[in-house]
Amino acid sequence: MTDSDAPLLEVRGLSVVYDTPAGPVTAVDDVDLTVGRGEFVAVVGESGCGKSTMLFGIAQLLSSPARISSGEVIFRGRNLVTMNEKQLAPVRWQNMSVVMQSAMNALNPVKRIAAQYADTMREHGIRDKAEIRRRSEEVLGLVGIDTIHLTSYPHQLSGGMRQRAMIAMALLFSPELVIMDEPTSALDVVAQRSLMLQIKELQQRLGFAVLFVTHDMSLVSHFSDRLLVMYAGQEVELGETRTVFDTPAHPYSKGLLEAFPSIRGPKLPLVGIPGSPPALSAMPHGCRYAPRCPLVYADCVEVEPALYEADGVKARCLLYSPDHRPANATAPREARP
């Protein structure tokens, strides 16, 4: 395999724990994930399932009491987990950048946008004022914001403009991977759609890969290439986005899809998922989704499922296990209208 064929990002067996007085609590449990060059991979799931913690583990932005307990994060052929802060500094922003969930918190409220862009560029060796100004205007133009707003403070921008300003900052050095942690969560539906279209357009124009974390499956349905569904710290389904949406393999994926309306086909009642995810400190035996699953059977509460091949995707469900699947079980592969 040549360097151009190798994945840009390869996460192998990543586990993240939070150290508590009662002992370590696992928030991300043995996750595997690859992101190819120029690929758009979305990570979805309910709040508290470990999405953002996984993202921070990949970007090496965890702070105490969180820590990586095992696994590797291979980016451009190097394991980020074994690198110190000095070694990570050139990688951040230049090769990999992060767009935080809340732009108002991520941007410095007492500095103008231009000053924040300049600080970032000076930190990475760009000192020429004309070059800093040129690049700042260029990236702001990329996200559709008038360059006059370089003199604005964050509070003078709307929520959507602040998110675009953060994305512009993430593109200052033309990184190969942009990690986004629910960048649309504080926006209304119209602004969400507009921002997603802009992110996809920028990705196609500039060629960077995107790892996009969200709790809203519908948001990424037409933008991502592959979809990773997480539940209780584990990946429960991974596959091509259209395959997961059209014929979800895992009962949890199906439940998430039934929780929002389809604009096509007959009107269907919104079903939702009963109950709530388990506490990270008190995981159930067997399948972690079993207490909420409509297809649960005896083995589910005793046997912890692995990731099984399931018609083009991977699913963590005993319905696809050759050893534990009951003879009369029907896998949840109903097509969504």
C-alpha 173: how far from chain center? 21
Long-range pairs for 302-309 at CB < 8 Å and ≥24 separation? 307/235, 307/238
pLDDT at site 333: 53
Q: Chunk the chain into consecutive blocks of 10 residues (it has 337) and report each block's average pLDDT, rounded to whole numbers.
A: 75 97 94 97 93 95 95 96 93 91 80 95 92 96 94 92 92 95 84 90 95 89 95 97 94 89 73 88 93 92 93 93 71 50
Tokens encoding 258? 């039934």
pLDDT at site 3: 57
Q: 3-state DSSP call for residue 223?
A: coil
Q: What is the pTM of this model?
A: 0.91
C-alpha span between 198 and 189 (Å, rounded): 14
pLDDT at site 104: 64
Domain spans of the chain? 9-224, 231-320
CB 170 within 8 A of CB 99: yes
The stretches of the chain forming alpha helices (DSSP H) are 51-58, 85-88, 103-106, 113-123, 129-142, 159-170, 189-206, 241-246, 251-257
pLDDT at site 302: 92
CB 113 within 8 A of CB 154: yes
pLDDT at site 217: 83
Which uninterrupted H or E stretch holds 209? strand 209-214
| Residues whose CB is less than 8 angstroms from the CB of residue 108 and which lie 6 or more positions away in sequence, other chains included | 116, 154
C-alpha pair distances (Å), 1 with each of 7, 11, 37: 10, 18, 14
Domain 9-224 has CATH 3.10.105.10: no
C-alpha span between 2 and 278 (Å, rounded): 43
Tokens encoding 163? 């998110």
Q: What is the pLDDT of residues 50-77, one digit of tens each?
A: 999 999 999 999 999 999 999 999 999 9
